[in-house]
Structure 1
Amino acid sequence: MKDIKFCVYVLVLLIPVLSIAQNQIPLVDYLNRIENEKSVRFNYLQQDVKTLEITTTNTNQALQNIFNQISTQLPISFEWIDNTNIVVKRLSQFYCLKVLSENLNQALSNVYVESHENIIKTYQNGTVFFTNKPKSKTLKLFKDGYAVEEIEVESLQPNDCKIVKLTRQINLDEIQLIGYLTKGLNLNSDLSISLNPKEFEILAGLTQPDVLQTMQYVPGIVSLDERISNINVRGGTHDQNLFLWNGARLYQTGHFYGMISALNPSIAHQVNIYKNGSSAFYTEGLSSVVDISSAAKPLDQSEFELFANFLETAGKADIALSDHSQLRVAGRYAFSDIFDTPTFENYYDKIFQNTEISALSTNENLRLSSDVDLQYYDANLQFQTAFNDNTTWQINAMAISNELLFVEENINTQDQKDNYLTQESYVVSTQLDKNLSENVSLSSLAYLSYYKLEGENASVLNNQLLNQTNEVLDYGLKLRSDFELSEQYKFSLGYQFNEIGIRNDNIVNIPEVEIRQKSVLQTHAGIVEFKASNFDHKLKTTLGLRANYYDKFSEFKFEPHLNMSFAIIPSFDVVLMAEQKHQVTAQVIDLQNDFFGIEKRRWVLANENETPIQRLRQVEIGQVFNKSSWLLTANLFYKNVERITSASQNFQNQLEFLQLSGDYQTYGAEFLVQKQLQNFRLWLNYTYNDSEYEFDEFSPSVFPNNFETSHHAETGLSYTTTKVKLSLSGRFFTGRPTTPIDQDMPISNPDTNPDINFLDPNSDHITEYSQVNFTGSYTFLWSKFKAEIGLAILNLFNTNNTTNQFFRLSNDILEVERIENQGLEFTPNAFLKINF
C-alpha cells in the first residue's frame, strides 16, 4: 500500500512535467510544420540537419523573423530560390557563444546579447550563432538576476563556441537591503534573512561568520543563557527551531555542549533564516527555520583556507577536479588536549557550573583524580558535479563529535571510576537537479541524519553504574518540481517522505533497573505552492499548502502558508505573513541531573499520550522603509503554540516533575533602524514581547513563559575598509522569569516529606542582562594569498550577569539553597585566517 502511495505521488509530479517540457524538437519536424502553415518548401541535405534540434518559436509571424530565430540557435542559413522554395544550408564558418550559469554550469536561456548591429537572445541550449563576426568591439550579455558580462569580439574564434559564465546576482525585486547589520547579511522582501558567509564582514564578538551566533543579532531571537544549543525565538524552545544542513535535519547544533556552533562557518555558502511566512516545503520548526546550504560555485582553481583561534584549529580545501566537478574537504579540531587557553577556561567554567562536574570540587568524599578531558571535532566532505548543461549532482557528508572524560575518586579508599559523556552526529545527503526546459525543473534529495547522546555515570561510593542513551535516526526523500508559467506566475509541486526513530535508554546495575523506550513515525507530505508578482511587481504573493499524513496516527494535518508584500512606494513596503505548522519531535528533561546535568535534554517523538503533536498558528504584519542609506523595519506579531509538554520547558520549580500538556502564546513588536554612512554602519533594534503559558490542569493555569524577555535591545557600530574591520555592540534584556519561594515558610512538610514551598510560577524576574562585545581585524593582501588577524572580546567590561536562578534542597542539612548560573566573564579570543 505504501509503495502504491509513493508511485501515485511521483506520477502526480510528473504529469505536468510531461505535458510542458516538450518544446525542444528536431529541426526537420519544425521545418515540416512551417511548410504546412506557410505554403513554402525547404530544400536541404539530410546529413546537414538530421541531428539538429531547436526550441520551437511562434510560427504566427513573418518568415524572415522565424529564420532569424532559427539561425540564432543553429549554424544554418536560409536562401530564397523563388517565392516558395528555400534552400537550407549548414554554415561552413560561424562564430558562437555558449552562456552558462557560473554556479551550476547550466545553459542559460533568455540571455540578451547586445552588439552595435542588433540584440539577440539565447534559447534553451544557451547558444547564439553569428553568420559573420560582429562588427562591434564588445558584446554585452544581460539576463535578469545575473550580473552584466562584457566580452571582446576579438576573443571569438571561427567555428568555435566561446564559453561565457554569468554570475548569479540577487534580484533586486526579491531583496530589500544588502548589508543588514553587516555586509553579507541581507534582508529579503519576504522579511526572511539571508547570510552569505563568504561576503560576511564583521559582527562584534565573533571571530567567524557563524550562523548560530549571527542570528542572535536579529530582532526576536535570543539565547538567555548564552548557549548556542538554547536559542529562543519569540518565546519558543530550542527544539522548535528547524536546522537544515543541505536538506537534512540537524539534531545537534553545538560543540562544547552548547557554547560553540557545531557548524563550520567556512563551509556554509548560503543560509536562509525564517521566523514566519516560510515556504510550505518546510515543516516542523514552529519558531524558526534555518536552512543551510554548502553548495558552492564552480572553481576556476583550487582554494585553501587555514584558521585558528584560542579554542580550535580548522582547515578547508576546495579542489577543482575539472571544469564541472569539485571536491571540498574541511575540518575543525579543539586543541584543549594540548593546552588550555583563557578562552577555553572561561567556557569550561560557564558550561560546568552547577553540574555534577563542579559538585566534585566541593564534595568531602569525592574528587576528580585527573583533569577533565574535553574534546570536540567536526569534519565535512562534499562533491558536486555537472553531468551536462542541465543536470547537476552533489553529495554531502558531515560528522560532529563531543567527548567528555573524567575519573571520579573516593578520597578515603582511593577507588576510581571512569565516567564519560559523548554527543555525536552523522549526516549524509545527496541531491540531483535537472532542468527539463527553461520553464520546468526537477529536484530530488535523499538524506540520513543520525544523533546519539550517551553518558555513563559510575559512583565510587556504592558501585552504582548508570548508563543513559538518547538516539535519533531520521531519513527521508524530498521531490520537487517547479514550473514558470510566465514572468509573473510560478507554480511548485512536491512530495516528501521521512521516517524518524528515537530511542531512550536508562540502565542501572544496583538496583537492577532497565528502561528502554523506542518509537518510530513515518510521515508522507504533499506540497503545492504558488507565487505571483502583480502590478509591475509591486504586489508579491506566495501561497502554499502542505498536507502531512502521519501513518502511526492515521491522521492528516494541513499547513497553509502565506507571505504577501506590497510596495506602497518604491521605498516603503508592507508585508503580511501567516502560517500553521505541526511538530512531532521535542526535547524533554526527565531529571535535572541526567547526563551529569550538562546536556540533560532528550529527543522524544510524539505519541498519543504524554507527548502530543504540537501545532503553531502565527500571524504577522510588518513594514520596511529603505531610502538614502536608512533602513527602518517594524513588525507586530501574534504566535500561538498548542499541545506543548511541561517536560520540554525546563521548569525548575513546582512543575519540574509534573507531566502536563498546555499552550503558550506570544504577542509582541520588533523594530530595527540602521544607517549606512560611507564606511560606517550604525544600527539599533528593540523587541517587546509578552509570552504566557496556559496549563489547564495546574493552578494558576496562566503564568509567564520561562523564555519571556519583555524588553530586548541591541545596538552596534562598525567601521570597515578593505583591510581594517572594527565592530562594537551592546546587548540588553530584562531578566528571565523565576519562581520565588515563601520566605516565611520555605519548606513544606519538613518532618515527613520535605519540599520547597514555591509561590506562583514565574512571578518574579532575575536581574537584567547586559553585555558589550568587540571585534577588530586587519587583513594583509598579497598577490596569491591573504591573511587576516584579529581579536574578539565577549563581555568587554566584565559585567556580572545572572543567566538563571532556581532553588533546591540541600543534601546535608534541611535548608533551601538559591542557585545562580553566571554568564561569561571577560573572554578574549584572538584569531588568524589564511586564504590561498
Structure 2
Amino acid sequence: MVIRKKKIIIFFSLLFFVLFSCYAQKTKKQESLSHVIDVLQERFDVQFNYAEDTIDDFVIMPPLERLSLNEVLAYLETKTGLSFSIMNDRIVLVKPKKDSIFCGYIKDKSNLQPLVAATIQSTNHSTITDDNGFFQIEIENINTPITIRFLGYKTITKPLHEFSILKCEDIYLSSNVQSLAEVVISNYITGGINKLSDGSYEIDFSNFDILPGLIDDDVLQSVQAFPGIQSINESVSNINIRGGTHDQNLMLWDGIKMYQSGHFFGLISMYNPHITQTVFLRKNGSDVSYTDGVSGTIAMQTDKAINKEFDGLAEVNLTNINSFVDVPINKSSSIQIAARKSISDFVETPTYTAFFDRISQNTEVSSNASTITNSNETFDFYDTSFRWIYKISDTDEVRLNFINVHNQLQFNENATINNQFVSRESQLSQNSIAGALHYIREWNQDFNTELEIYETDYKLKAVNVNVLESQRYLQENIVSETSIKLKSNYKLNNTFKFLTGYHFVETEVTNLDDVDIPRFKNLVSEVLRTHGIFSQIDYKSLNRRTSLNVGLRYNYINKFKKSIWEPRLNFSHQFLEHFSFEVLGEYKHQNTSQVINFQNDFLGIEKRRWQLSNNQNIPVITSKQISTGINYNNNGWLVDIDWFYKVVKGVTTQSQGFQNQYEFVKSKGKYDVKGVDVLISKRLKKFNTWLSYSLMNNRYFFNELEADYFPSNFDVTQTFTMGTAYKLNKLKLSAGLNWHSGKPTTLPILGNEIINNEVNFGATNASNLEDYMRIDLSAIYDFKLGPHTKANIGISIWNLLDYENQINNFYRLNNEQVVETTQNSLGFTPNAVFRVYF
C-alpha cells in the first residue's frame, strides 16, 4: 500500500510538472491587454478609460514602438474588435462596439463547398446562411457567444472576439462522423443542458453553468436534476430512473459498459468531471445500437476533437485533489489524461467526516459486538482516465480509452480474549478497470463505419474478521465483459439515414464465499454470450420540424437458445412555432442484475453483488415502455410535460432490497410504473429559474408472495424540486430545494409485533417514511492569475438547514423486543474548491 501511495504521489508530481512546464513554454511573447495599455499610457502620456471586464479576456502581441498613437489604436481595434476613441484632454475611451454586424461564409472543411441553411446564433439574434453560405448577424459586444451549427457537422461555440470580425471571412465546419440529434430546447434546466429531437437529453460540460449544491461537474449528481430521476438514498450508486433500480441503468463511458458508479461507495461519481465532456441521458426511445438498461441509459463521452493547443488544470477540494491535461502530439493526434485522489491520507476535512459517517451507518464499521471495538478506520480512493485520438488520414480515425477506479476501506476489530489484546484487520475494496478501441472509417460523405471493442472488469472484495471466533470470511464479486460492435451509417439524402450493425457481448460473473473456520468455500462462475443485429431508419423533414426514428434489434442468447426482438421508436414534431410533440417507445432486455443475499454481506457497505440470469429462478429481465410529451418554448419560458408507462418483467425479490417479511424469500415477478414528469423554467437576463414535479405510481406483482399488486420499494409518489441560478460576469450562484414523499416501509402490527419469535409485519409497504426535504447552495467565482492562466474558487453547502431525513428503516428482534433501526441522509455538508486552468 505504501508503494502504491508513493507511485500516486510521484504521478501527480509529474503531472503538475508537465502542466507548469508547458505553461511556461507557451507564454513568452503575448501580453494581456491591460498590461499593453499601461505601457501605452506611459509612452503617449494619455489616459485609457474602460470598464475592467471589457478588456479582461484579451491577450495580444504588443504594438510596435515606432507606431503613432492613431496607428496603435487602429492596431488595437484590429486585434480586439473593441472601440478606441480619442476624447478631449487626451482621454482614450475603450468600449465594445455596439450593434455591430458579424458576417462570414460557412463552408465544408473537406470540400470547401458552402453550407446552405446553417444556423448562426448570438445571445439575442439568429440567422441562417444563404445559397452561398453567407450570413450576417447583429452583435451587441465583443464577448457575445456565437454558436454555429449544421446537421451532420461539429458545432462551433465561442466568443465573438475569437473570430475575425473586421471582414466577412470563411468559417469552416468539420463533418461529424456520428449521427447526432438536433437540439430542440437549449438551456433546458441551466446553461449547457439541452433536450434533443430524439427525446434524449444532453449535458455539455464545456458550456455548463451551475447547479445547487455542486461545485464540480459531477456527472451522476447532475443527471438527478432532471424530472423523473432521483436517488432514493442520496447515492450515485442508487439512481432510480422512473422507479427502476440502479442495476437497470446502462452506464456507458465512451461506449464502455461500467459496473461501478461511485467513490465513497456512492457519494461521489467515479467519473472524472474534467475528462467527461458530454453526457447523454435517455429515459426511453433508445437507439437500436444500445442493449441493456431496461430503465434508462446514461452515456458519458470524452471530447472527440483533436486539440491543437495545450490545456490543463489542477484542483483541490475538501475530498480530493484532481488534475487534467489535454496535450497535442501533432496536428493529427492529442492525448487527454485525468487523475484524482482522496486527500484523507493528509487531512480529514468536515466533508470527508460527513461522507464517512454516512456510508458507515449501521454497518460493522461504525458498530460491532459490545465486546469488540473498531479503530484505525481509513478510506482511500483514486481514479485515472486516458483518451488518445489519432487521425490516421482524412477518412480514418482511431480512439483509445482507458479508465481505472479504486476504493478501499480498512479498519481494525479489537477485543480482549483471555486477558490478551487481539486486533485483526477487516477491509473492503472496489475496483474497475476498462479499455476500449474505436476505429472510424469515412468511406465518403454519405457512408461511414465504426468498430468498437471494449473490455471491462469489476471486482468487489471484502475480508471480514471475527476476532472473538478467530474467523475470517472472504467474499468476492467479479464481472468481466468483452464487447465487439460494428456499426454503419448511410445517408440516402437530406431526409433519410440508415443505421445497421452487429453486436457481440460475452459476460462472465464470478461469486466467491470463503470461510476459514469451519472450512467452507463456494465458487460459482457463469458465462453468457449474446449476439445482436440491429437496423434503424432515421427521417428528418426538409423543414427540420419532424423527426422519426424507427428501428428493430434482434438478440440471441446462446446458452438459453433464446431470441428476443426489440422494436424502438422516437417521433417528434414542432408545430405552431413554439410547440413540439413527441412519442417514444422501446422494448429492452438485460442479462445482469444486482442482488442482496444478506444485509451484512461485504461489511454492509456495498452489499449488492452482480449476477447473471439463468433463465429459471433468475430470469432475463425485459421491459416495455411508452411515453408521450408536449412542450412549449418561447420568450425564455419553457413548459415540458411527459406522460409515461413502463412494465419490467423478470425482477427478483433479492434485487429489490426487501428488509421486511420478504427479506429472505426468493421469488420472481414484475413491476409496472406510470406517471408524469413536468418541468417549468424561465430565463430572465442573468437569472434562470426552474420547477420540476414528478408524480408516479410504482407497483410490484410477485405471484408467489401476494395475490395482488403492492407498492414498490422505490414508489416515491411525488417529487418536487425548485432551483435558481444567477450569472453575473465572473460570478455564478445557485440555490435549490429538493422535496419528495417518504420511501415506502412495512411496519410491525401494533400490539402484536412478534409471532413465533419473528417480527410480525403488517401490509407490505403500506406506510411511508417522513417526507424528505433539502436546501442546497453553491457559488463559483472566476478570475485570472496571469495572461494565460485562469482560476476559480467555489463553495457549496449540501443540506443547508441540516434536516434529519430518514432514507431507510428496518425492524429486528433484540432481547425479545422489536427494535427499529433508521438510516439518515447527509446532514449539513460544506465543500470548497480551488481550481487553476492553464
TM-score range, shorter chain: 0.7 to 0.9
Taking the aligned partners of 2:276 and 2:603, their CA distance within structure 1 comes to 33
State the partner residue of 1:398. 403
State the partner residue of 1:36. none
**C-alpha spacing 1:407/1:320, structure 2 compared with 1 (3 Å):** same
State the partner residue of 1:798. 802
Instruction: State yes or no: 1:467 paired with 2:471.
Output: no
Q: For 1:255-282, what per-residue CA distance to the aligned partner results, in whole angstroms no more than 9, with x for missing partners?
A: 0111111000111112100000111111
Structure 2 residue matching 1:622: 3-state secondary structure: strand
State the partner residue of 1:316. 324
Taking the aligned partners of 2:637 and 2:107, their CA distance within structure 1 comes to 37
* Amino acid aligned to 1:471: I
- Map 1:356-755 onto structure 2 (within 5 A): 356-360=364-368, 363-368=369-374, 370-412=375-417, 413-534=420-541, 536-749=543-756, 754-755=757-758
Offset of residue 154 of structure 1: 11
Taking the aligned partners of 2:448 and 2:166, their CA distance within structure 1 comes to 33
- Identity rate, percent: 33
Taking the aligned partners of 1:271 and 1:465, their CA distance within structure 2 comes to 42
State the partner residue of 2:338. 330
Taking the aligned partners of 1:663 and 1:163, their CA distance within structure 2 comes to 55
Q: For 1:224-265, what per-residue CA distance to the aligned partner results, in whole angstroms no more than 9, with x for missing partners?
A: 111110011111100000000111100000101111110001
Q: For 1:724-773, what per-residue CA distance to the aligned partner results, in whole angstroms no more than 9, with x for missing partners?
A: 00000000000010000012121111xxxx21111111010000000000
Instruction: State yes or no: 1:274 paired with 2:286.
Output: no
Q: For 1:548-586, what per-residue CA distance to the aligned partner results, in whole angstroms no more than 9, with x for missing partners?
A: 110011111011000011122221011011111011100
State the partner residue of 1:774. 777
Taking the aligned partners of 1:535 and 1:392, their CA distance within structure 2 comes to 30
State the partner residue of 2:99. none
Which of residues 819, 822, 829 is equivalent to 1:820? 822
Is contact 2:108–2:114 with CA below 8 Å preserved after alignment?
no
Taking the aligned partners of 2:809 and 2:181, their CA distance within structure 1 comes to 47
State the partner residue of 2:212. 204
Taking the aligned partners of 1:580 and 1:287, their CA distance within structure 2 comes to 10
Q: How many residues align?
A: 701
State the partner residue of 1:342. 350
Which of residues 294, 298, 301 is equivalent to 2:309? 301
State the partner residue of 1:14. none
Offset of residue 406 of structure 1: 1.0
Structure 1 residue matching 2:307: 3-state secondary structure: coil
Offset of residue 143 of structure 1: 5.5
* Amino acid aligned to 2:400: I
Is contact 2:199–2:584 with CA below 8 Å preserved after alignment?
no
* Amino acid aligned to 1:795: N
State the partner residue of 2:234. 226
State the partner residue of 1:244. 252
State the partner residue of 2:765. 762
Q: For 1:601-638, what per-residue CA distance to the aligned partner results, in whole angstroms no more than 9, with x for missing partners?
A: 00000002221001100111101111111100001111
Structure 2 residue matching 1:258: 3-state secondary structure: coil
Taking the aligned partners of 1:790 and 1:108, their CA distance within structure 2 comes to 44
Is contact 1:147–1:169 with CA below 8 Å preserved after alignment?
no
**Unmatched runs of 5 consecutive residues or more in structure 2:** 1-104, 119-129, 135-147
**C-alpha spacing 1:428/1:521, structure 2 compared with 1 (3 Å):** same
Give TM-score scaled by structure 1 length: 0.81
Taking the aligned partners of 2:612 and 2:350, their CA distance within structure 1 comes to 40
* Amino acid aligned to 2:214: L
Offset of residue 187 of structure 1: 1.3
Offset of residue 816 of structure 1: 1.3
Structure 2 residue matching 1:228: 3-state secondary structure: coil
State the partner residue of 2:363. 355
* Amino acid aligned to 2:220: L
Offset of residue 199 of structure 1: 1.3
Q: For 1:38-96, what per-residue CA distance to the aligned partner results, in whole angstroms no more than 9, with x for missing partners?
A: xxxxxxxxxxxxxxxxxxxxxxxxxxxxxxxxxxxxxxxxxxxxxxxxxxxxxxxxxxx
Taking the aligned partners of 2:117 and 2:536, their CA distance within structure 1 comes to 33
Offset of residue 121 of structure 1: 8.7
Is contact 1:418–1:458 with CA below 8 Å preserved after alignment?
yes
Is contact 1:419–1:458 with CA below 8 Å preserved after alignment?
yes
* Amino acid aligned to 1:757: N
Taking the aligned partners of 2:723 and 2:760, their CA distance within structure 1 comes to 43
Give TM-score scaled by structure 2 length: 0.81
**C-alpha spacing 1:181/1:120, structure 2 compared with 1 (3 Å):** closer
Taking the aligned partners of 1:508 and 1:485, their CA distance within structure 2 comes to 62
Structure 2 residue matching 1:216: 3-state secondary structure: helix
Taking the aligned partners of 2:796 and 2:176, their CA distance within structure 1 comes to 33
- Map 1:274-293 onto structure 2 (within 5 A): 274-293=282-301
Structure 2 residue matching 1:346: 3-state secondary structure: helix
Taking the aligned partners of 2:804 and 2:165, their CA distance within structure 1 comes to 63
State the partner residue of 2:78. none
In terms of mean alpha carbon deviation, does 783-792 or 445-454 score higher?
A: 783-792
Structure 2 residue matching 1:257: 3-state secondary structure: coil
In terms of mean alpha carbon deviation, does 185-194 or 792-801 score higher?
A: 185-194
Taking the aligned partners of 1:671 and 1:339, their CA distance within structure 2 comes to 43
**C-alpha spacing 1:503/1:170, structure 2 compared with 1 (3 Å):** closer
Taking the aligned partners of 1:688 and 1:549, their CA distance within structure 2 comes to 36
Taking the aligned partners of 2:318 and 2:810, their CA distance within structure 1 comes to 32
* Amino acid aligned to 1:634: I
Q: For 1:171-194, what per-residue CA distance to the aligned partner results, in whole angstroms no more than 9, with x for missing partners?
A: 998212221211111111233110
Taking the aligned partners of 1:260 and 1:249, their CA distance within structure 2 comes to 19
**C-alpha spacing 1:173/1:285, structure 2 compared with 1 (3 Å):** closer
State the partner residue of 2:813. 809
Offset of residue 410 of structure 1: 0.7
**C-alpha spacing 1:173/1:400, structure 2 compared with 1 (3 Å):** closer
Offset of residue 296 of structure 1: 3.6
Is contact 1:324–1:386 with CA below 8 Å preserved after alignment?
yes
- Map 1:86-105 onto structure 2 (within 5 A): none
Structure 1 residue matching 2:365: 3-state secondary structure: helix
Offset of residue 371 of structure 1: 2.0
Taking the aligned partners of 1:423 and 1:107, their CA distance within structure 2 comes to 50
Q: For 1:338-382, what per-residue CA distance to the aligned partner results, in whole angstroms no more than 9, with x for missing partners?
A: 11000011111111000111113xx431012x3211000000111
State the partner residue of 2:96. none
Instruction: State yes or no: 1:189 paired with 2:197.
Output: yes
Taking the aligned partners of 1:345 and 1:445, their CA distance within structure 2 comes to 41
**C-alpha spacing 1:742/1:435, structure 2 compared with 1 (3 Å):** same
Q: For 1:15-53, what per-residue CA distance to the aligned partner results, in whole angstroms no more than 9, with x for missing partners?
A: xxxxxxxxxxxxxxxxxxxxxxxxxxxxxxxxxxxxxxx
Structure 1 residue matching 2:347: 3-state secondary structure: coil
* Amino acid aligned to 1:364: S
* Amino acid aligned to 2:371: N
In terms of mean alpha carbon deviation, does 694-703 or 784-793 score higher?
A: 694-703
Taking the aligned partners of 1:731 and 1:153, their CA distance within structure 2 comes to 49
* Amino acid aligned to 1:382: R
